[in-house]
Each structure stands twice: as C-alpha cells, then as structure tokens.
Amino acid sequence: MEKEQLFEKRMIELSKNAYYRGILTFSDFLDLNELHKLHSLPLKQYGVKVETFGGHAFAERQMAAFIPDAFFFSQEYPISCICIRPSMEKFAENLTHRDYLGAILNLGIERSKIGDILVEDKKAYIFCHNSLCEFLMNEICRVRHTTVVPSIIENKEEFPSVKLQKVTGTVSSVRLDSVTALAFSTSRSSILPLIEGKKLFVNGKNIVSNAYHLKEGDIVSVRGKGKYRFDGTTNLTKKNRYHVEVSRYC
C-alpha cells in the first residue's frame, strides 16, 4: 500500500508541476500496473492532460507526459533507442530478453529508466531515457559471453516496429474473453483465470470483467501470453456470430 501511495503522490506532483509552472513534465517508464493506476487517478482536476508513449505503437512500458492546458505537444518524449548487436555474429549466443535486461541492470541502472527491449535475430533494440544514452553506449560491451557493439538509432522514424500476425475468426460477441481466446488460439475457460487474476490490460487499464466489450483499436496485453490489437468486426454470419480480426504481437 505504501508503494502505491508513493506512486500516486509522484504522479500528482508531476501534474502539479506541469500546471503551476506551465511546463511539460514526464514520468519514468511505467509498467502495466502503474499505467492502470495512472489512468485511474483524477488528474484532470489539476489542469493537465495525460498521454503515454513508449517509443513504438505496441510499447508495454511507457512514459507519461503531463501536458498543461493549451500547451502544444508534438509527441517529443525523452526516449532514445539503442541497437545492440554482436561484434562477431558468427560466434554470438542466442541471447534472450532476460539476458539483455540483466546486462543493463547489472550496471546499476533502475528498471524504471528502461522501456521495452525488442529482440530481433542476433540483435536487440533498447528503449531508454535520453539521460542514460551516453552511459549505456560507453558501458555495454558484453551480454553473457558475447561481445557486443551498441549504436544509437538517430532518426526516430527508424525506431523498430513490432511484427504483427493477422488472426481472424468468429466469436459469439466481442467480449474480452471471447476475442482473447481467439487471438491466442485457446478456450474461453482458460482465459477466465487470467482475467480474474488481474493479468489482462486494455490500453494499459486492468480489466477484471470477462464481459468487457472491446472497441476497434483497443490494445490488449495478457501477462504470460503477449498482446494484440482488436481490429474490429467485418460481418455477421448466418448464425449471428461476429467475424472479427485481430493483430497479434509476434
């Protein structure tokens, strides 16, 4: 409870700073639970709008921007992206997300300063706070037993994007449990414990009702399974089932 209170106090403090000083303020990277708590706070009473972003469209860990009324904001978050690749790909290990994260945290960096880590083939893309960029460039030289070379992705338009797999099928309704079961090719009964266990998030908000109806464009994250985007319905079948499309994060 104390940790939650400290988090709420920090978010309110950032909101007040943005409003009273008339400046844009940012949080560190927030995880899904923190994003849910953030969306639950009545921050509008402090005269600010809150937006979140993590460097790419499907980012799980995101920064919050606290924007004063009438303030023009052009999505310029203090986020950098570092590409880490082996110095000799021929001898590189098959490194995992955990390997890269461990190498970074072993440098004494707080987890809240690091966003998503996207692993692709023999390289990884690390989203981090701008203030850490130079430090990481100088200090990351080895991940497990593999010697690596970091480089900054200078152009934000070249930031990596996630790969999506299109999934289609029919459901009796666009309820959260039905669509999620379709997205991960499983049964509705296997999804219910995940919902009850507070492991499903829609647009960063924890949803505990299996009857929640999804809207087109909603991004659903499922702890332990992955995430997907609900792309909407296309038609109604003769048996009154909805034909739906989702894009699953690969």
Q: How confident is the model at residue 33 (pLDDT cuts 50, 70, 90)?
A: confident
Mean pLDDT for the stretch of residues 196-204: 89
For the chain, list the strands marked E by DSSP.
Answer: 25-30, 48-53, 62-68, 79-86, 114-120, 123-129, 142-143, 146-152, 164-171, 200-202, 205-206, 219-222, 226-236, 242-249
Percent of the chain's residues with pLDDT above 70: 99
Percent of the chain's residues with pLDDT above 90: 67
Domain stops at, among 46, 68, 90: 68
Domain span at residue 59 reads: 2-68
The CATH number for 39's domain is: 3.30.1370.160
- CA dist 40 → 49, 106, 191, 204, 206 (Å): 13, 33, 24, 10, 10
pLDDT in tens, 132-145: 999 999 999 999 99
Domain stops at, among 100, 123, 158: 158
How far apart are the two ends of the chain, measured CA to CA in Å?
Answer: 35
Hunting for tokens 């994003």 — which residue is that? 35
Q: State CA 175 to chain mean position distance.
A: 22
Q: What is the pTM of this model?
A: 0.76
* Same domain assignment for residues 103 and 55: no
Local structure of 170: helix, strand or coil: strand
Rounded CA gap, 61 and 52, in Å?
9
At residue 130, the pLDDT reads 94
Structural domain includes residue 7: yes
Which tokens sit at 139? 């200090």
Mean pLDDT for the stretch of residues 64-69: 90
pLDDT in tens, 10-28: 999 999 999 999 889 999 9
At residue 1, the pLDDT reads 62
At residue 2, the pLDDT reads 85
Which tokens sit at 154? 């200078």
